[in-house]
Amino acid sequence: MKKKLIIGGVIVAIVLILVLLILNSGKSKQNQIKTLVSPTPVDLINNQQYQDNPILQNYEALDGVETDAFIINYSTSQNKYIVTGKTSDTQEIFNQWLNENNYPELINNQDLVTFELNQGAGINSKIQDDKDFIFNLFSTLLNFNQKIKVNNQQLPTPKANEININNKNVPSEKKYYSQCGEYGNYSLPSGCTICKAGCGPTTIAMIGASYIDKTINPQTIVDLYKARGFLLGCDGSRYTDAKTAAESLGLKTTSFMIYSFETADQVASDFKNYIDDGWTIFALANYCQGGCGHFFWITEVDNSGNLWAYDPYYGRFSTPPFNENSKYPYPLYRVAFGVKK
Protein backbone atom coordinates (compact mmCIF):
# COMPACT_ATOMS: atom_id res chain seq x y z
CA MET A 1 0.00 0.00 0.00
CA LYS A 2 2.82 2.40 0.96
CA LYS A 3 4.62 1.55 -2.28
CA LYS A 4 1.52 2.49 -4.32
CA LEU A 5 1.19 5.78 -2.45
CA ILE A 6 4.84 6.63 -3.10
CA ILE A 7 4.52 5.85 -6.82
CA GLY A 8 1.32 7.89 -7.02
CA GLY A 9 3.00 10.81 -5.26
CA VAL A 10 5.97 10.73 -7.65
CA ILE A 11 3.66 10.73 -10.69
CA VAL A 12 1.65 13.68 -9.38
CA ALA A 13 4.87 15.59 -8.60
CA ILE A 14 6.20 15.02 -12.13
CA VAL A 15 2.94 16.21 -13.64
CA LEU A 16 2.94 19.36 -11.48
CA ILE A 17 6.48 20.18 -12.57
CA LEU A 18 5.49 19.80 -16.23
CA VAL A 19 2.48 22.08 -15.71
CA LEU A 20 4.65 24.80 -14.15
CA LEU A 21 7.19 24.58 -16.97
CA ILE A 22 4.49 24.92 -19.63
CA LEU A 23 2.75 27.83 -17.90
CA ASN A 24 6.05 29.69 -17.48
CA SER A 25 6.85 29.07 -21.13
CA GLY A 26 3.53 30.59 -22.08
CA LYS A 27 4.11 33.69 -19.94
CA SER A 28 7.60 34.31 -21.34
CA LYS A 29 6.28 34.29 -24.90
CA GLN A 30 3.03 36.10 -24.20
CA ASN A 31 4.21 39.36 -25.74
CA GLN A 32 4.59 37.59 -29.10
CA ILE A 33 0.96 36.45 -29.23
CA LYS A 34 -1.63 38.74 -30.80
CA THR A 35 -5.25 38.76 -29.74
CA LEU A 36 -7.52 38.55 -32.77
CA VAL A 37 -10.76 40.45 -32.40
CA SER A 38 -13.49 40.12 -35.01
CA PRO A 39 -16.24 42.77 -35.16
CA THR A 40 -19.76 41.55 -34.46
CA PRO A 41 -22.35 41.77 -37.26
CA VAL A 42 -23.90 44.73 -35.41
CA ASP A 43 -20.54 46.54 -35.55
CA LEU A 44 -20.51 46.04 -39.33
CA ILE A 45 -24.11 47.17 -39.76
CA ASN A 46 -23.52 50.37 -37.79
CA ASN A 47 -20.21 51.20 -39.47
CA GLN A 48 -20.80 53.96 -42.02
CA GLN A 49 -17.76 53.03 -44.14
CA TYR A 50 -19.10 49.51 -44.41
CA GLN A 51 -22.58 50.72 -45.36
CA ASP A 52 -21.14 52.98 -48.05
CA ASN A 53 -18.97 50.26 -49.59
CA PRO A 54 -21.06 47.76 -51.58
CA ILE A 55 -17.94 45.85 -52.61
CA LEU A 56 -17.17 44.96 -48.99
CA GLN A 57 -20.79 44.05 -48.39
CA ASN A 58 -20.58 41.59 -51.28
CA TYR A 59 -17.81 39.74 -49.42
CA GLU A 60 -19.47 39.72 -45.99
CA ALA A 61 -19.24 35.92 -45.92
CA LEU A 62 -15.45 36.24 -45.57
CA ASP A 63 -15.60 37.89 -42.16
CA GLY A 64 -14.66 35.45 -39.41
CA VAL A 65 -13.53 32.63 -41.75
CA GLU A 66 -10.77 30.58 -40.15
CA THR A 67 -8.64 27.76 -41.59
CA ASP A 68 -5.48 26.01 -40.44
CA ALA A 69 -3.44 28.62 -42.32
CA PHE A 70 -5.23 31.95 -41.80
CA ILE A 71 -8.05 33.97 -40.21
CA ILE A 72 -10.05 36.65 -42.06
CA ASN A 73 -11.45 39.67 -40.18
CA TYR A 74 -13.01 42.89 -41.44
CA SER A 75 -11.22 45.99 -40.10
CA THR A 76 -13.45 49.01 -39.59
CA SER A 77 -10.42 51.29 -39.19
CA GLN A 78 -8.71 50.17 -42.41
CA ASN A 79 -11.97 49.51 -44.27
CA LYS A 80 -10.69 46.25 -45.71
CA TYR A 81 -10.25 42.58 -44.81
CA ILE A 82 -7.24 41.61 -42.71
CA VAL A 83 -5.85 38.14 -43.37
CA THR A 84 -3.83 37.03 -40.36
CA GLY A 85 -1.49 34.24 -41.26
CA LYS A 86 -0.58 31.27 -39.11
CA THR A 87 2.24 30.06 -41.41
CA SER A 88 4.97 31.69 -43.50
CA ASP A 89 3.28 30.71 -46.78
CA THR A 90 -0.15 32.12 -45.83
CA GLN A 91 -0.50 34.38 -48.87
CA GLU A 92 0.01 31.52 -51.31
CA ILE A 93 -2.46 29.29 -49.42
CA PHE A 94 -4.97 32.14 -49.15
CA ASN A 95 -4.79 32.86 -52.90
CA GLN A 96 -5.41 29.17 -53.62
CA TRP A 97 -8.37 29.24 -51.21
CA LEU A 98 -9.80 32.30 -53.01
CA ASN A 99 -9.63 30.45 -56.33
CA GLU A 100 -11.30 27.35 -54.90
CA ASN A 101 -14.11 29.42 -53.33
CA ASN A 102 -14.81 31.59 -56.39
CA TYR A 103 -13.17 34.82 -55.22
CA PRO A 104 -10.38 35.18 -57.86
CA GLU A 105 -10.92 38.94 -58.05
CA LEU A 106 -9.55 39.31 -54.51
CA ILE A 107 -6.19 37.69 -55.30
CA ASN A 108 -3.45 40.29 -54.66
CA ASN A 109 -6.16 42.96 -54.36
CA GLN A 110 -4.45 45.38 -51.97
CA ASP A 111 -7.43 47.74 -51.99
CA LEU A 112 -9.59 45.16 -50.20
CA VAL A 113 -7.17 42.71 -48.58
CA THR A 114 -4.05 43.10 -46.47
CA PHE A 115 -1.86 40.49 -44.75
CA GLU A 116 -0.43 40.12 -41.27
CA LEU A 117 1.71 37.30 -39.92
CA ASN A 118 0.76 36.31 -36.39
CA GLN A 119 4.15 35.17 -35.13
CA GLY A 120 2.61 33.87 -31.93
CA ALA A 121 -0.09 31.72 -33.48
CA GLY A 122 2.02 28.60 -33.66
CA ILE A 123 3.40 29.21 -30.18
CA ASN A 124 -0.07 29.72 -28.76
CA SER A 125 -1.30 26.53 -30.39
CA LYS A 126 1.66 24.57 -29.01
CA ILE A 127 1.06 25.88 -25.48
CA GLN A 128 -2.61 24.95 -25.68
CA ASP A 129 -1.76 21.48 -26.99
CA ASP A 130 0.63 21.01 -24.06
CA LYS A 131 -2.01 22.15 -21.58
CA ASP A 132 -4.55 19.77 -23.10
CA PHE A 133 -2.03 16.93 -22.83
CA ILE A 134 -1.45 17.67 -19.13
CA PHE A 135 -5.19 17.86 -18.47
CA ASN A 136 -5.70 14.51 -20.19
CA LEU A 137 -2.88 13.03 -18.12
CA PHE A 138 -4.38 14.35 -14.89
CA SER A 139 -7.78 12.98 -15.88
CA THR A 140 -6.33 9.53 -16.55
CA LEU A 141 -4.25 9.39 -13.37
CA LEU A 142 -6.95 10.68 -11.05
CA ASN A 143 -9.86 9.01 -12.89
CA PHE A 144 -11.70 12.28 -13.51
CA ASN A 145 -13.36 10.64 -16.53
CA GLN A 146 -13.94 14.07 -18.12
CA LYS A 147 -14.07 14.87 -21.82
CA ILE A 148 -11.98 17.70 -23.25
CA LYS A 149 -14.08 20.55 -24.71
CA VAL A 150 -13.90 20.79 -28.50
CA ASN A 151 -14.47 24.54 -28.50
CA ASN A 152 -12.75 26.79 -25.94
CA GLN A 153 -14.56 29.97 -26.94
CA GLN A 154 -15.59 32.57 -24.37
CA LEU A 155 -19.31 32.90 -24.88
CA PRO A 156 -21.28 36.14 -24.49
CA THR A 157 -23.62 36.58 -21.57
CA PRO A 158 -27.31 36.61 -22.59
CA LYS A 159 -29.05 39.94 -22.04
CA ALA A 160 -31.83 39.62 -19.50
CA ASN A 161 -34.10 42.05 -21.32
CA GLU A 162 -33.93 40.05 -24.55
CA ILE A 163 -34.60 36.45 -23.49
CA ASN A 164 -36.09 35.44 -20.17
CA ILE A 165 -34.62 32.04 -19.32
CA ASN A 166 -36.62 30.19 -16.68
CA ASN A 167 -34.82 27.23 -15.13
CA LYS A 168 -38.16 25.51 -14.63
CA ASN A 169 -38.57 25.37 -18.41
CA VAL A 170 -35.44 23.38 -19.23
CA PRO A 171 -36.41 21.12 -22.17
CA SER A 172 -36.10 17.35 -22.06
CA GLU A 173 -36.33 16.66 -25.82
CA LYS A 174 -35.83 18.35 -29.18
CA LYS A 175 -38.47 20.83 -30.27
CA TYR A 176 -39.75 21.26 -33.84
CA TYR A 177 -41.29 24.42 -35.30
CA SER A 178 -42.69 24.89 -38.79
CA GLN A 179 -42.02 28.37 -40.11
CA CYS A 180 -45.55 28.30 -41.55
CA GLY A 181 -47.16 26.98 -38.39
CA GLU A 182 -48.53 28.77 -35.35
CA TYR A 183 -46.16 31.73 -35.72
CA GLY A 184 -46.14 31.80 -39.53
CA ASN A 185 -48.06 35.08 -39.86
CA TYR A 186 -45.83 37.00 -37.46
CA SER A 187 -44.29 40.00 -39.26
CA LEU A 188 -40.56 40.34 -39.81
CA PRO A 189 -38.88 43.70 -39.05
CA SER A 190 -38.18 44.54 -42.72
CA GLY A 191 -41.28 43.05 -44.32
CA CYS A 192 -42.88 39.67 -45.06
CA THR A 193 -43.69 37.02 -42.45
CA ILE A 194 -41.99 34.12 -40.70
CA CYS A 195 -43.69 31.72 -43.12
CA LYS A 196 -42.36 33.62 -46.13
CA ALA A 197 -38.76 34.26 -45.08
CA GLY A 198 -38.22 33.23 -41.44
CA CYS A 199 -36.35 29.94 -41.72
CA GLY A 200 -33.29 31.44 -39.96
CA PRO A 201 -34.94 32.59 -36.73
CA THR A 202 -37.24 29.54 -36.76
CA THR A 203 -34.20 27.25 -36.84
CA ILE A 204 -32.56 29.15 -33.97
CA ALA A 205 -35.87 28.90 -32.07
CA MET A 206 -35.86 25.11 -32.46
CA ILE A 207 -32.31 24.86 -31.12
CA GLY A 208 -32.98 27.27 -28.25
CA ALA A 209 -36.23 25.52 -27.28
CA SER A 210 -34.46 22.14 -27.44
CA TYR A 211 -31.44 23.07 -25.35
CA ILE A 212 -32.10 26.22 -23.30
CA ASP A 213 -35.77 26.97 -22.59
CA LYS A 214 -38.78 25.20 -24.06
CA THR A 215 -40.77 28.46 -24.11
CA ILE A 216 -38.49 29.96 -26.79
CA ASN A 217 -40.37 30.16 -30.11
CA PRO A 218 -39.94 31.76 -33.58
CA GLN A 219 -41.62 34.98 -32.44
CA THR A 220 -39.17 35.19 -29.51
CA ILE A 221 -36.21 34.97 -31.87
CA VAL A 222 -37.66 37.43 -34.41
CA ASP A 223 -38.01 39.91 -31.55
CA LEU A 224 -34.39 39.20 -30.59
CA TYR A 225 -33.26 39.88 -34.19
CA LYS A 226 -35.23 43.13 -34.15
CA ALA A 227 -33.74 44.22 -30.81
CA ARG A 228 -30.22 43.53 -32.09
CA GLY A 229 -30.80 45.34 -35.41
CA PHE A 230 -30.19 42.18 -37.45
CA LEU A 231 -31.23 42.02 -41.11
CA LEU A 232 -34.54 40.14 -41.33
CA GLY A 233 -37.16 40.62 -44.01
CA CYS A 234 -38.36 39.45 -47.40
CA ASP A 235 -34.77 38.66 -48.43
CA GLY A 236 -34.32 36.40 -45.42
CA SER A 237 -31.57 36.69 -42.82
CA ARG A 238 -27.83 36.20 -42.38
CA TYR A 239 -25.98 33.20 -40.98
CA THR A 240 -23.61 35.52 -39.09
CA ASP A 241 -26.60 36.93 -37.19
CA ALA A 242 -27.91 33.42 -36.53
CA LYS A 243 -24.60 32.47 -34.91
CA THR A 244 -24.65 35.60 -32.73
CA ALA A 245 -28.28 34.95 -31.76
CA ALA A 246 -27.46 31.35 -30.79
CA GLU A 247 -24.57 32.50 -28.60
CA SER A 248 -26.75 35.18 -26.96
CA LEU A 249 -29.06 32.37 -25.80
CA GLY A 250 -26.12 30.68 -24.08
CA LEU A 251 -25.44 28.09 -26.80
CA LYS A 252 -21.92 27.08 -27.79
CA THR A 253 -20.89 27.41 -31.44
CA THR A 254 -17.90 26.54 -33.63
CA SER A 255 -16.21 28.56 -36.34
CA PHE A 256 -17.91 28.71 -39.73
CA MET A 257 -17.50 25.88 -42.22
CA ILE A 258 -17.53 27.43 -45.69
CA TYR A 259 -18.53 25.32 -48.70
CA SER A 260 -18.84 25.98 -52.41
CA PHE A 261 -22.38 24.70 -53.14
CA GLU A 262 -21.39 21.14 -52.27
CA THR A 263 -23.66 18.09 -52.19
CA ALA A 264 -24.48 15.96 -49.16
CA ASP A 265 -21.88 13.32 -49.94
CA GLN A 266 -19.19 16.03 -49.99
CA VAL A 267 -20.04 17.42 -46.54
CA ALA A 268 -21.41 14.37 -44.70
CA SER A 269 -18.07 13.27 -43.23
CA ASP A 270 -17.36 16.78 -41.89
CA PHE A 271 -20.78 17.01 -40.26
CA LYS A 272 -20.58 13.48 -38.86
CA ASN A 273 -17.25 14.24 -37.19
CA TYR A 274 -18.80 17.20 -35.40
CA ILE A 275 -21.97 15.29 -34.47
CA ASP A 276 -19.94 12.36 -33.12
CA ASP A 277 -18.20 14.93 -30.90
CA GLY A 278 -21.50 16.10 -29.44
CA TRP A 279 -22.31 18.99 -31.78
CA THR A 280 -25.30 19.52 -34.06
CA ILE A 281 -25.13 21.54 -37.30
CA PHE A 282 -26.80 24.82 -38.24
CA ALA A 283 -26.71 24.81 -42.05
CA LEU A 284 -27.36 27.17 -44.96
CA ALA A 285 -27.92 25.54 -48.36
CA ASN A 286 -29.52 26.22 -51.74
CA TYR A 287 -32.53 24.27 -52.98
CA CYS A 288 -32.39 25.43 -56.59
CA GLN A 289 -29.64 26.41 -59.02
CA GLY A 290 -28.24 29.79 -58.01
CA GLY A 291 -30.76 30.48 -55.24
CA CYS A 292 -33.51 29.25 -52.89
CA GLY A 293 -31.30 29.66 -49.81
CA HIS A 294 -32.65 27.94 -46.71
CA PHE A 295 -31.60 27.36 -43.07
CA PHE A 296 -32.14 24.12 -41.13
CA TRP A 297 -30.76 22.15 -38.17
CA ILE A 298 -28.92 18.86 -38.82
CA THR A 299 -29.03 16.53 -35.83
CA GLU A 300 -27.83 13.22 -37.28
CA VAL A 301 -25.70 11.76 -40.08
CA ASP A 302 -26.29 8.03 -40.47
CA ASN A 303 -23.83 5.41 -41.71
CA SER A 304 -25.21 5.73 -45.25
CA GLY A 305 -24.41 9.45 -45.34
CA ASN A 306 -28.02 10.63 -44.98
CA LEU A 307 -28.33 14.04 -43.31
CA TRP A 308 -31.31 14.14 -40.94
CA ALA A 309 -32.57 17.58 -39.98
CA TYR A 310 -35.20 19.57 -38.16
CA ASP A 311 -36.17 21.50 -41.28
CA PRO A 312 -38.63 24.37 -40.63
CA TYR A 313 -40.04 24.27 -44.19
CA TYR A 314 -39.34 21.06 -46.11
CA GLY A 315 -39.88 18.93 -43.02
CA ARG A 316 -43.19 20.48 -42.00
CA PHE A 317 -45.34 17.64 -43.39
CA SER A 318 -43.45 14.80 -41.71
CA THR A 319 -42.34 13.74 -38.24
CA PRO A 320 -38.86 15.15 -37.61
CA PRO A 321 -36.11 14.64 -38.41
CA PHE A 322 -36.38 15.04 -42.19
CA ASN A 323 -33.95 13.33 -44.58
CA GLU A 324 -32.39 16.22 -46.54
CA ASN A 325 -30.84 13.73 -48.97
CA SER A 326 -34.32 12.94 -50.27
CA LYS A 327 -33.95 16.03 -52.50
CA TYR A 328 -30.51 15.07 -53.86
CA PRO A 329 -28.54 16.60 -55.58
CA TYR A 330 -30.05 19.42 -53.55
CA PRO A 331 -29.55 20.98 -51.13
CA LEU A 332 -26.20 22.47 -52.13
CA TYR A 333 -24.37 23.39 -48.94
CA ARG A 334 -22.86 26.85 -48.52
CA VAL A 335 -22.16 27.55 -44.83
CA ALA A 336 -22.49 25.68 -41.54
CA PHE A 337 -21.43 25.91 -37.93
CA GLY A 338 -21.61 23.54 -35.00
CA VAL A 339 -23.95 24.30 -32.11
CA LYS A 340 -24.66 22.60 -28.78
CA LYS A 341 -25.76 23.32 -25.23
What residues make up the domain containing 283?
167-340
Task: Spell out a b/e string for 8-39, using b for 16 or more CB atoms within 10 Å of the CB, else e.
Answer: eeeeeeeeeeebeebeeebeeeeeebeeeebb
Q: Is 137 contained in some domain?
A: yes
> So what's the pLDDT on residue 86?
72
Q: Let me know if residue 27 belongs to a domain.
A: no
**DSSP state at residue 40:** P
- Asked if the structure places residue 124 within a domain, the reply is yes
| pLDDT for residue 120 | 42
- For the domain that residue 172 is a member of, what is the CATH number? 3.90.70.10
Q: 254 and 214, same structural domain? A: yes
How far is the C-alpha of 83 from the C-alpha of 114, rounded, in Å?
A: 6
Same domain, 132 and 172: no
User: Is position 219 within any domain?
Assistant: yes
The 10 Å Cβ neighbour count of residue 51 is 12
pLDDT value of position 8? 60
Digit-coded pLDDT (tens) for 197-234: 999 999 999 999 999 999 999 999 999 999 999 999 99
277 and 140 in one domain?
no
Do 303 and 178 sit in the same domain of this protein?
yes
The verdict on 247 and 313 lying in the same domain is: yes
pLDDT digits over 262-305, tens only?
999 999 999 999 999 999 999 999 998 878 899 999 999 999 99
Are 200 and 318 in the same domain?
yes
**121 and 254 co-located in one domain:** no
On whether both 186 and 257 belong to a single domain, the answer is yes
Is 246 part of a structural domain of the chain? yes
Note whether residue 179 is domain-resident. yes
Q: Residue 176 has what pLDDT?
A: 97
Same domain, 140 and 252: no
Q: Could you say which of 88, 113, 144 is where a domain stops?
A: 144
Please state the domain count of the chain: 2
The torsion angles phi and psi of 336, rounded to 5 degrees, stand at -155, 160
Give the pLDDT score at 319.
Answer: 94
What is the reported pLDDT for 19? 54
pLDDT of residue 31: 33
Q: Judge if 137 and 175 occupy the same domain.
A: no
Which segments in the chain show pLDDT lower than 70? 1-58, 60, 64, 76-78, 88, 117-172
